[in-house]
């Protein structure tokens, strides 16, 4: 996900930017505030963690829907459904309000191996469709599918926060509920000539608060299941600009570095590429994208050894 207003001027320059970025999504952004996503009924979101000597974020007080994030008011998953008893955390990348809160999202937080910006604004299509609106729409669709299969689904935010959450909060969301799997959904902002999707796996990072050693193996399995199901559901080709065969491995993303549960990112397409952007703006394509993500999670959670 690249700068929403100032697109990279050349691919080489973008690659250099991408290598050093890595906030809440896969790169740093500075842009004007995005338009809010369409409203849907509120659902589970994770409340901010307890204060520490350095709070993970200076976030607003939790909304009523956030306060129910630990499953209060939710019945047990119906037995007999394929995901009964499973907990999934879905992380819609960025927030439409981030651009109006530069001081908050630019504050650096600890990701173990480095300090990164709390969050970023995300990218957008050339005609102004924001990544943050795309990700929230897709995640809500995934939630509906997974809940029908019996899963408990927790969102890191559900359009009920003015900005954020910070990247360390996003990782903490899965850790706090002991999620069986977590997926962060994004759209990228690469040069316009680049297209396709890729899944980002956590590299082995052991530094400070970060230790991904226990999750690199299961996260890879999750990532491969997600890659295959997303390609089958959407017909989107593998990325032409990053990774290999639709898979990339990174050590600079706080959402992965701080996770204690199997977790991956998916860049559903390049919002700066005209063909990818056209698909990502299409509600029917987003429906297929959500199905692909849900299918990948289901395959991982019901597969051998799960």
pLDDT value of residue 87: 98
Q: Are 93 and 1 within 8 A, CB to CB?
A: yes
Tens digits of per-residue pLDDT, 18-65?
Answer: 433 333 335 433 333 333 333 333 334 444 443 333 333 333 333 323
Q: Are 180 and 262 within 8 A, CB to CB?
A: yes
Tens digits of per-residue pLDDT, 72-105?
Answer: 334 444 568 999 999 999 999 999 999 999 999 9
pLDDT value of residue 305: 57
Which residue is catalytic, options 104, 124, 169, 267? 267
Average pLDDT over every residue of 264-284: 98
Q: Is the pLDDT of residue 258 over 80?
A: yes
Tokens 């226990």 correspond to: 214
Q: Is the pLDDT of residue 117 over 60?
A: yes
Tens digits of per-residue pLDDT, 136-147?
Answer: 999 999 999 999
Q: Which domains does the chain have, with CATH numbers?
A: 82-302 (3.40.630.40)
Instruction: Say whether 267 is catalytic.
Output: yes
Tens digits of per-residue pLDDT, 164-187?
Answer: 999 999 999 999 999 999 999 999
Q: Are 45 and 65 within 8 A, CB to CB?
A: yes
pTM attached to this predicted model: 0.78
Instruction: Work out the pLDDT band at 306, boundaries 50, 70, 90.
Output: low
Q: Are 78 and 150 within 8 A, CB to CB?
A: yes
């Amino acid at each position: 996900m690249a700068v929403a207003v100032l697109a990279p001027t050349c691919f080489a320059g973008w690659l250099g930017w991408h290598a050093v970025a890595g906030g809440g999504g896969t790169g740093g952004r500075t842009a004007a505030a995005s338009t809010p996503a369409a409203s849907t009924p509120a659902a589970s979101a994770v409340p901010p963690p307890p204060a520490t000597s350095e709070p993970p974020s200076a976030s607003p007080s939790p909304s009523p829907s956030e306060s129910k994030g630990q499953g209060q008011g939710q019945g047990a998953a119906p037995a007999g459904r394929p995901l009964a008893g499973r907990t999934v955390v879905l992380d819609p990348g960025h927030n439409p309000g981030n651009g109006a809160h530069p001081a908050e999202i630019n504050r650096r937080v600890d990701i173990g191996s480095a300090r990164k910006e709390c969050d970023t604004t995300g990218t957008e299509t050339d005609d102004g469709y924001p990544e943050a609106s795309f990700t929230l729409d897709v995640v809500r669709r995934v939630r509906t599918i997974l809940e029908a299969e019996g899963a408990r689904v927790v969102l890191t935010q559900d359009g009920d926060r003015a900005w954020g959450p910070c990247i360390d909060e996003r990782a903490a969301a899965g850790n706090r509920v002991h999620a069986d799997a977590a997926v962060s959904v994004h759209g990228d902002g690469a040069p316009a000539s680049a297209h396709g999707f890729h899944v980002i796996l956590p590299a082995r990072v052991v530094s400070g608060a970060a230790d991904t050693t226990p999750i690199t193996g299961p996260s890879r399995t999750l990532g491969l299941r997600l890659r295959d199901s997303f390609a089958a559901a959407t017909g989107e080709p593998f990325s032409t600009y990053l990774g290999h065969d639709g898979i990339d491995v990174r050590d600079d993303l706080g959402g992965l570095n701080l996770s204690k549960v199997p977790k991956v990112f998916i860049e559903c397409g390049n919002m700066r590429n005209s063909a990818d952007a056209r698909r990502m703006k299409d509600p029917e394509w987003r429906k297929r994208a959500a199905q692909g993500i849900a299918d990948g999670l289901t395959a991982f959670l019901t597969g051998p050894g799960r």
